Structure 1
């Protein structure tokens, strides 16, 4: 599958685990600059697709049509983890748009954030669809249906106008034939798409640098959702998660997805980065991304420090005693 070792983990001086995967870096023309592993490995974007799935709604200025705040609109591209401020914003959005929570196709669940989950559980609250990390994306799609007069009850069907426009948008931005994009079903029940890692990197570069997008409406929509992600980073994940930490850096457009996929665009450097961890681990994202930025000579050391603080390379046991370490072991080949 073209995967190589990305991260090794040691305990007591013994190699305990190896995380395999691939990394790809492209320039503003989509040309390969560096790679580790196979840059053409095909992988589903999962939640890394959310900024692109939000573009059709942003093109119609759904936020203005329904009077959504910037914090609320950012949730269209979010994998929120169900903290109280996320739920408050979602309830406000639904009230403004005029939809009921039961209209969401995603299943009822508890929040992903452990503290938020515990609070809801010990308060004897039932699982809710709005707690699902994809509920902002679903809300945005239903809002687009209402605005366009499309059927609101089948918005998740691959043949629905919303879903057809989303895959057309992704194909346009990634510069691949629409027919070449494999589709599956995401965890939340919506269609999801696969691209080669090189095209994922290129799409995220365009998200960061929308001047590379020829169509004016698409360019404006991509730029606006990307800016909102940077302006409200805690809305995209939560107060301690890699997406939110990266988005605090105004130079980056970034979003991760389930099963270890991640995309980053760098505005000043005008490069795109994508990575896939083959075992699906998200815990090693900070180690890999920080290492990539260091090897590229990235100038914002605060961003790199935040990643290492989020998931230190020191491994501790349940009592907090240091018992091992992890390290990035890949080379970026030109």
Structure 2
């Protein structure tokens, strides 16, 4: 993003500007730019913002329907999570649907972003595992996709 990129969004709280977000956007139809704001040729690093797109093949290939994935499970594939008990249970269910275990994940372990979940792990004398990684849901989805692709 170029420092002179236009302001795309302003967040106000109690009438005051809390933050302003600059960027560029482009709308393309049939390979033709029909609208652009800022520099449509600038490079971007999407990070987790691309997770919903990475989850699409599970739907498009019929994997989600065949495996009976729930809305919560699909949401976990399409997002980062905080490592709460609910999140890790959902990630485990995704893995189990394909016959996988947390050992099959290639994302490294880190403490849950949810403070209370991290405290529970530490108090139990355990260490964070791969399933607590904020990307474990996405990686579980990748495993299901890879399995489907053979």
TM-score by length of 1: 0.36
Matches of 2:84 and 2:135, distance apart in 1: 13
Matches of 2:2 and 2:95, distance apart in 1: 44
- Tell me, which stretches of 5 or more residues in structure 2 are unaligned? 8-18
1:46 matches 2:42: no
1:66 matches 2:67: yes
Matches of 1:39 and 1:113, distance apart in 2: 37
Matches of 1:42 and 1:72, distance apart in 2: 31
Structure 2 partner of 1:107 = 108
Q: Could you say if the C-alpha distance between residues 24 and 5 of structure 1 is closer, same or farther in structure 2, counting changes exceeding 3 Å?
A: closer
For residues 1-334 of structure 1, the aligned pairs below 5 Å read 2-4=2-4, 22-27=22-27, 29=29, 30-35=33-38, 38-149=39-150
- How far apart are 1:6 and its partner, in Å? 8.5
- Tell me, which stretches of 5 or more residues in structure 1 are unaligned? 8-18, 150-334
Structure 1 partner of 2:11 = none
Q: Are the aligned partners of 1:6 and 1:20 in contact in 2 as well (CA < 8 Å)?
A: no
- How far apart are 1:31 and its partner, in Å? 3.2
- How far apart are 1:118 and its partner, in Å? 2.5
TM-score by length of 2: 0.75
Matches of 1:100 and 1:80, distance apart in 2: 18
- How far apart are 1:59 and its partner, in Å? 1.6
Poorly superposed stretches of 4+, deviation over 3 Å: 4-7, 19-22, 25-35
Q: Could you say if the C-alpha distance between residues 144 and 40 of structure 1 is closer, same or farther in structure 2, counting changes exceeding 3 Å?
A: same
Matches of 1:23 and 1:96, distance apart in 2: 39
Matches of 2:119 and 2:4, distance apart in 1: 38
Matches of 1:87 and 1:119, distance apart in 2: 13
Q: Which has the higher contact order (CA 8 A, sep 6+)?
A: 1
- How far apart are 1:5 and its partner, in Å? 8.7
Structure 2 partner of 1:292 = none
RMSD: 2.7
Q: Are the aligned partners of 2:55 and 2:74 in contact in 1 as well (CA < 8 Å)?
A: no
Structure 2 partner of 1:287 = none
Count of aligned residue pairs for this structure pair: 136
C-alpha deviations, 1:11-61, integer Å up to 9, x for none? xxxxxxxx99742244574433544xx443212211111111122222222
- How far apart are 1:125 and its partner, in Å? 2.1
- How far apart are 1:64 and its partner, in Å? 2.1
